[in-house]
Chains A and B, each alone.
Chain A
Amino acid sequence: MNTISVKNLKRIYKTTTGVIRRKTKEVEAVKDISFEISKGELFGLLGPNGAGKTTTTKVLTTLLIPNAGEVKINGLDIVKDANEIRKQIGFIFGGERGLYWRLSGIDNLRYFASLYHIEPEVSKKRIPYLLDLVGLKGRGDERVEGYSRGMKQRLHVARTLLHDPDILFLDEPTIGLDPVGAREFREVIRDLQAEKKTILLTTHYMFEADSLSDRVAVIDDGIIVALDTPSALKKHVRDLSVVEIETFGIAEIVVNKIRALPFVDAVSTREQDQRQVLLVQTERGAEAVPDLMKSLEGQRVGRVTVREPTLEDAYVRLVGGKS
Chain B
Amino acid sequence: MRIITNNLRLFWQGTLLSYIALFVWLRPTTYIASKVLMPLAQILFFSFLGSYASGGTNVDFYVIGNAIQIVAVSGIFGVTLSIGGDRWNGTLPYLFGTPANRMMLFFGRAFMHIFDGALGVVIALGWGALLFGLDFSQTDLFALGITILVTTISTCGLGLMMGCLSLITANVMFVNNTVYFLLLIFSGANIVLETFPNWMQIISQMLPLTRGIASARLLISGSSLAEVTPLVLGELGIGIIYGWLGFYLFKWVENQAKRKGTLDLV
Q: Which residues of A contact B (CB under 8 A)?
A: 11, 13-15, 55, 58, 61-65, 83-84, 86-87, 89, 91, 93, 95, 97-103, 107, 110-112, 114-117, 120, 159
Contacts and interface: CB of A to CB of B under 8 A. Distances in A.
Going nearest first, the 3 A-B pairs with the smallest beta carbon separation are: A97-B90, A100-B21, A115-B100
Nearest to B25: A102
B10 A102 contact: no
A98 B100 contact: no
Contacts of B257: 63
B97 A114 contact: no
Interface stretch (B11-19, B176-184, B215-223): B11-19
Given A14-B262, A61-B97, A65-B259, A111 B89 contact: no
A99 B99 contact: no
B99 A117 contact: yes
Contacts of B22: 100, 102
A83 B94 contact: no
Contacts of B10: 114-115, 117
Contacts of B18: 100, 111
Contacts of A120: 9
A129 B258 CA distance: 34
B89 A97 contact: yes
Given A63-B266, A98-B90, 14 more contacts: A13-B261, A58-B93, A63-B93, A63-B96, A64-B261, A84-B99, A86-B97, A89-B97, A107-B17, A111-B17, A114-B13, A116-B98, A120-B9, A159-B94
Given A64-B258, A97-B89, A86 B20 contact: no
Nearest to A102: B24
B4 to A, nearest CB: 11
A111 B10 CA distance: 8
Contacts, number: 95
B97 A63 contact: yes
A14 B98 CA distance: 26
A304 B259 CA distance: 51
A243 B99 CA distance: 51
Contacts of B91: 97-100
Interface in B1-35: 6, 9-10, 13-14, 17-18, 20-22, 24-25
28 contacts: A13-B260, A13-B261, A58-B93, A62-B258, A63-B97, A63-B266, A64-B261, A83-B99, A84-B99, A86-B98, A97-B90, A97-B91, A98-B91, A98-B93, A100-B21, A101-B89, A102-B20, A102-B22, A102-B25, A103-B20, A103-B21, A111-B13, A111-B18, A114-B13, A115-B105, A116-B100, A117-B10, A159-B94
Contact of B258 (A63, A95, A114, A117): A63
Contacts of B99: 83-84, 86-87, 115-117
B95 interface: yes
Contacts of A95: 90
Given A14-B262, A98-B91, A114-B14, A107 B20 contact: yes
A123 to B, nearest CB: 10
A205 to B, nearest CB: 22
Contacts of A15: 262
